[in-house]
Structures are given as C-alpha cells and as structure tokens.
Amino acid sequence: MNTLFVKDYDEMSQKGFEIFREVIETKENPIVSINTGGTTRGFYKLLVEAVNDGLDISNTTIFVLDEYIGPKNEVYTVYTYIHENFLDLVDTQPKEVHFIDGSIDNPDAEIERYKRLLDEHPRDFQLLGLGTNGHIGANEPGTPFDAEMFLAQHTDSTIESTMKEYDISREKTPTAMITLGFKEILEAEKIVLMISGEHKAEATKTLIEGEVTENNPASILQQYENATVIIDEEAASMLEKTQ
Ligand code: PGA
C-alpha cells in the first residue's frame, strides 16, 4: 500500500483524480468502479470539468461500488448521486454505466446479475472512501476478508453518516445496501482510497498503524501494492509519522 500525504481536501481530490485520469488516458477501453459520499464530491467536480474540457470517456465503462436498498430516485441513492454529480453535468457520456438496482424485491438475483457483469469486466481502477469505523464500501467491521458481493446491514455509525450527508431523518435513512465485497474491490488493477477530515483521523490511524484484521476492514489494503491511500492533514493528525 502506498500512502500519499496532502494538505487538504482539494489536494486530495486533485491527486485522486490524476491517478484516475491516467487510467482513462492510457487504457484503450477503461473499466472503472466508482464510489460516492462527501469525500468524493471534489473528485467528481474535477472529472466533470475535465470531460467538458475534452477528456474522452466515450470508451469508458463505469461500475459502482454499492447501492442503498430503497427506491431508485431517493436523494440518498448512488444512482441519484452519480447523476447529480457526474452524468447530468457532462457533455459526453461514458460508453456504459452499470448501476446496482437497490429497488428490487429480490436482492440475491440482483447480486448474481451484477457479479456476472463484474466477472466479464475486470476493473482497471477502484475508487474508495473510508468509513469512520474503517469500512470500505459496506464491508463493515467483522466482514470476512473473502466476502463476495452481498447485502450488508449498516452499523449505527454508517447510518448516522448517511443521515448527515443527505440531511435526512433516521426513519428515511436506509439501513442496508448491496455492496461489492472485498473480493471484487481487491480485483481492481489500481485502488485509490481518499481520506479527508478530522472525523476520519482515528480510522486513518487504525488503517495505517493498526494490524490487518477483519475488525478494521480497510486494513486489508496494507497488503496490496497497487493501493494508494491519499490522506489530508486533518485525517493524518493522529498518526505517529506522516513522511
Ligand atoms: P464519506 O463516506 O465520503 O461520505 O465520508 C465514505 C464512506 O463511508 O465510504
């Protein structure tokens, strides 16, 4: 795992986007899996600017990291986020965008459908954020490291983060989501995990200085040479060393 220490949120977004951009520009038919959340909004701003400035995404296939269980057009869904922060703002569209459908009655069938698609499309790039409890995607603490795509129940801290991010009541906040498991996440040729803010400092410390354990989901990245963790000063504030 490589660590990249940066000043602030903007620099984190910039560095993350640079790695993504290189993949898009060097692969003939790039296949990428992207995430959502507060951490990633700056990244999408840069992506939209770049596409509207000529970055060619017409050969790029997009997957998503996860999707909440709930109606597709709710404010909190990955579907809504990716449209509002990316697809609705760009002049040209990617080749394909594969969403996970969290509105269906049979999540198992949806998981099987998406897993097949992922098998047919090895990813060049996987974007990630870090939960305050160390989760990646909805692989919450305790999820086995060999987990394949599954229906995850959220922990309280994740439910609270969702409420805050989308300014919605607890009753309206989804409590489950379909997520790529560690298996599919770690299959990507390059992985970028972006971390910003003081509220992530403890999770960052556990990720960087803690042991590799299923209680600390992101710690698995320590074993992956192709993973880059980009950490801003606030998130790094509890680390022993930042060089
Ligand atoms: P955030 O979420 O970017 O909204 O902090 C990250 C995550 O929980 O994966």
User: Measured at the alpha carbon of residue 128, what is the angle toward residues 77 and 32, in degrees to the nearest 5?
Assistant: 85
Question: What is the torsion angle, in degrees rounded to the nearest 10, for the CA atoms of residue 163, residue 150, residue 123 and residue 224?
Answer: 90
Q: Which two tokens stand for residue 91?
A: 């002049």
Is residue 135 part of the annotated active site? The answer reads yes
Per-residue pLDDT tens digits for 43-55: 999 999 999 999 9
Catalytic residue, chosen from 67, 110, 124, 140, is 140
In DSSP terms, 33 is beta-bridged to 63, 126
Mean pLDDT of 197-220: 98
Mutation to probe ligand 1, out of 76, 157, 161, 165 (largest number of atoms < 8 A from CB): 161
Q: Residue 243's pLDDT band (boundaries 50, 70, 90)?
A: low
Per the CB < 8 A criterion, the answer to whether 130 and 218 are in contact is yes
Residue 183's SS3 state is: helix
What is the distance in A from the centroid of ligand 1 to the CA of 129?
A: 5
Q: Could you identify the atom of ligand 1 that is nearest to the CA of residue 197?
A: 5
Is residue 140 part of the annotated active site? The answer reads yes
Residue 11's SS3 state is: helix
Residue 191's SS3 state is: strand
Catalytic residue, chosen from 35, 124, 135, 139, is 135
Is residue 108 part of the annotated active site? The answer reads no
Task: Output the ligand 1 site: residues, CB below 6 A.
Answer: 37-40, 129-131, 161, 165
What is the distance in A from the centroid of ligand 1 to the CA of 37?
A: 5
What is the distance in A from the centroid of ligand 1 to the CA of 28?
A: 30
Mutation to probe ligand 1, out of 12, 33, 34, 39 (largest number of atoms < 8 A from CB): 39
Closest residue by Cα to residue 129 from 119, 121, 137: 137
pLDDT at 234 over 70: yes
For residues 133 and 156, what is the distance between their CA atoms, to the nearest angstrom? 10
Is residue 10 part of the annotated active site? The answer reads no
Which of 139-148, 162-171, 217-226 has the lowest average pLDDT? 162-171
Task: State the first-to-last Cα distance of the chain, in angstroms, to the nearest integer.
Answer: 14
Q: Which two tokens stand for residue 52?
A: 């509207």
pLDDT at 13 over 70: yes
Closest residue by Cα to residue 137 from 191, 62, 91: 191
How many H-runs (helices) and E-runs (strands) does the chain carry?
Answer: 7, 10
For residues 219 and 139, what is the distance between their CA atoms, to the nearest angstrom? 12
Which residue has the CA at smallest separation from atom 6 of ligand 1? Answer: 129
Closest residue by Cα to residue 185 from 217, 159, 152, 142: 217
pLDDT at 35 over 70: yes
Q: Residue 237's pLDDT band (boundaries 50, 70, 90)?
A: very high
Q: What is the mean pLDDT of the chain?
A: 97
For residues 135 and 171, what is the distance between their CA atoms, to the nearest angstrom? 23
Residue 111's Cβ-side half-sphere holds a number of Cα atoms within 13 Å equal to 18
pLDDT at 104 over 90: no
Q: Looking at domain 2-221, which of 1.10.10.10, 3.30.1300.10, 3.30.2130.10, 3.40.50.1360 is its CATH number?
A: 3.40.50.1360
